Structure 1
Amino acid sequence: MQNSQTVISIFDILKIIKKNIWIILAIVIVTFVAVFTITNFILTPQYKATNQILVVQNTNKADSNVQNSEVQANLQMVNTYSAMIKSPLVLDKVSEKLRGQYSTNELSKKIVTSNDQNSQVLNIQVQDESQAMAAKIANETASAFKENLPVIMKDKSVTVMSQAKVLKNAHPVFPNKTMFYFLSLVAGLVLSGLFCFLREILDTTVKTEDQIMEKLGLPVLGTISKIPDNSVKNRPKYEAMNKTHTEAKPVYEK
């Protein structure tokens, strides 16, 4: 019984899809075109630039135990360094070097710091509408942090591991067009599917004999099939009548 019900339900689903195939295609196409337009003509592309810095402790001690403890201390200070990079002490100088093009708050929103697990290397990532500006902000931030950290922590120094560079033919990190297009197709299929199934569920008209028996509980005694107009017109009887009517000439009394 369960298998037959499953087959019937799948058959009904396929029947609904076949019946509304043009509506489904139309909704999918409209959704894709809308997302394509928004992605290419409305959203502003964002580019990313990244550089890497390393914070180390100035020491001449060769004791391995001391060096290991310093490494562990630096790892625990990574969050502190990240907060310092986005602090007004550093970003105010970056804003000055950019001639006030971005405020301290705007720079803070553009900068993201991260590091790999158990790594002392800090990544400074910047997103901007211009790749050149993103690289400039990242490099100026690393430079300002390098200048200010020894003032606050005299036993620390910063080494710039790699600078952000402007790449040729760079692709924006936002919007991700491939992902947006894929999601638009999925959204179009989901929306069209919901529309078609709701349309079928809300349709209370009776279309088959089984629906009459199911809803009214009455047996079907007989059915009257629909007679197409073409079949009626093509019958010989009606053709003869039409021919006679056409050839008849009006008679006028004198």
Structure 2
Amino acid sequence: MEEVDLREEIDLREIFQIIRKRLYLVIIIPLLAVMASGVVSYFFMEPLYKAPTTLMLWKDVEMDQTNMRASDLDFNRKLASTYREIARSRLVAEQTIEKAGLNMSPERLSGMIEVSSVGDTEIISISATYQDPETAAFLANIIADVFKDLVPEMINIDNVQIIDRAIPPNNPVAPRPGLNMAVAGFLGLMVAVGLVFLLEYLDDTIKTPEEVHKILGLNVLSAIPEMGERD
């Protein structure tokens, strides 16, 4: 047991020595990775803004909160998945492009849109992501309007009400420089450590008496010390 512990201690010591011998790589590579990630995130990546609008499924036609029954709410929740697919449909995208006078394909617009249910409720969130906050809010509101108008035509149920219209967001959702730099630093560290051990593996020179004994099984009787600099 003691022999195993001693061997592990020696192995850990060797690993530490290998890393320390090329410690400059372990420091420089992650630092360069963090700096490069920061420069790209702050100066080359265009910010993206996400604007959500929320809609609620109410009782058919009447929109009377006081007369809403549990069965009505349950029915609306079951319809939520159908409504999400309608909001993501090509038809909604095409009518949004036509209504807003956009110069883009339905596929591109669909890639900017995110539709989701808010928990186990009858509330649906429609979000638009774009390079500027005003356009993001504009797209979200137009899609909500188109969706609200299409539902009665498609399934003969007029039970969609817009709760909150989208407003231009103040802060972008991407890029996230802090996260990008942290990931870049971690990956840079992994690359640096891997490079250190690769260089050690490729280096077949013998530098110390300990390496002579370990590799050749011979004891070093004497060694010539390095000469210091002369005055």
Give the TM interval when normalised to the shorter protein.
0.7 to 0.9
After TM superposition, give the deviation of residue 111 of structure 1 in Å: 0.6
CA contact (8 A) 1:57 1:155 kept: no
**Residue number in structure 1 paired with 2:223:** 224
**Which residue number in structure 1 is paired with residue 209 of structure 2?**
209
1:28-39 counterparts in 2 under 5 A?
28-39=30-41
Partners of 1:49 and 1:126 within 8 A in 2: yes
Per the normalisation by structure 1, the TM-score is 0.80
Q: Deviations over 1:192-215 (max 9, x none)?
A: 111111111221111222322222
Structure 2 residue 128 is matched with structure 1 residue 126 = yes
**Matched position secondary structure for 2:38:** helix
Cross-structure match for 2:145: 143
Distance 1:229 1:81, change over 3 A: closer
Q: Shift in Å at residue 130 of structure 1?
A: 1.0
Q: Alignment partner for residue 21 of structure 1, among 20, 23, 28?
A: 23
Cα separation, 2, equivalents of 1:195 and 1:54: 56
Q: CA separation in 2, counterparts of 1:181 and 1:160?
A: 39
- For 1:171, the equivalent position in structure 2 comes to 171
Letter in 2 for 1:90: V
What is the distance in 2 between the residues matched to 1:228 and 1:212? 21
Can you list the C-alpha shifts for 1:44-73, whole angstroms capped at 9, x where unaligned? 22110001001223277x9xxx93333222
Partners of 2:105 and 2:99 lie apart in 1 by 11
1:121 deviates by 0.2
Distance 2:189 2:16 in 1: 14
List gaps (5 residues or longer) in structure 1.
235-254
What per-residue deviation string (whole Å, max 9, x for no partner) do you get for residues 134-181 of structure 1? 1000011111111121222333321111111113xx221111111001
- Name 1:103's counterpart in structure 2: 105
Identity %: 24
Supply the distance in 2 between the matched residues of 1:133 and 1:21 (Cα, whole angstroms): 49
Corresponding residue number in structure 1 for 2:46: 44
Structure 2 unmatched runs, 5+: none
After TM superposition, give the deviation of residue 216 of structure 1 in Å: 2.0
Number of matched residues? 226
Tell which structure's C-alpha radius of gyration is larger. Answer: 1
Please report how far the alpha carbon of residue 20 of structure 1 lies from its aligned counterpart in structure 2 after TM superposition: 1.3
Please say which of residues 140-149 and 83-92 is displaced more in the overlay. 83-92
Distance 1:59 1:147, change over 3 A: closer
Indicate if the aligned counterparts of 2:35 and 2:181 stay in contact, CA closer than 8 A. Answer: no
Partners of 1:149 and 1:59 in 2: how far apart? 12
Q: Letter of the aligned partner of 2:148 in structure 1?
A: K
2:37–2:177 contact (8 Å) kept in structure 1: no
Deviates more, 1:173-182 or 1:87-96: 87-96
Separation in structure 2 between the aligned mates of residue 59 and residue 137 of structure 1, nearest angstrom: 26
Residues 229-244 of structure 1 mapped to structure 2, 5 A cutoff:
230=229
What does residue 243 of structure 1 align with? Answer: none
Query: In 2, distance between residues paired with 1:152 and 1:142?
Result: 15
Give the superposition deviation at 1:229. 5.1
Give every structure 1 segment of 4 or more consecutive aligned residues whose post-TM-superposition deviation is greater than 4 Å: none
* TM-score, structure 2 as length reference: 0.88
Cα distance, 1:103 vs structure 2:
2.8
| Contact 1:213 1:219 survives alignment (8 Å) | yes
CA RMSD of aligned residues (A): 2.3
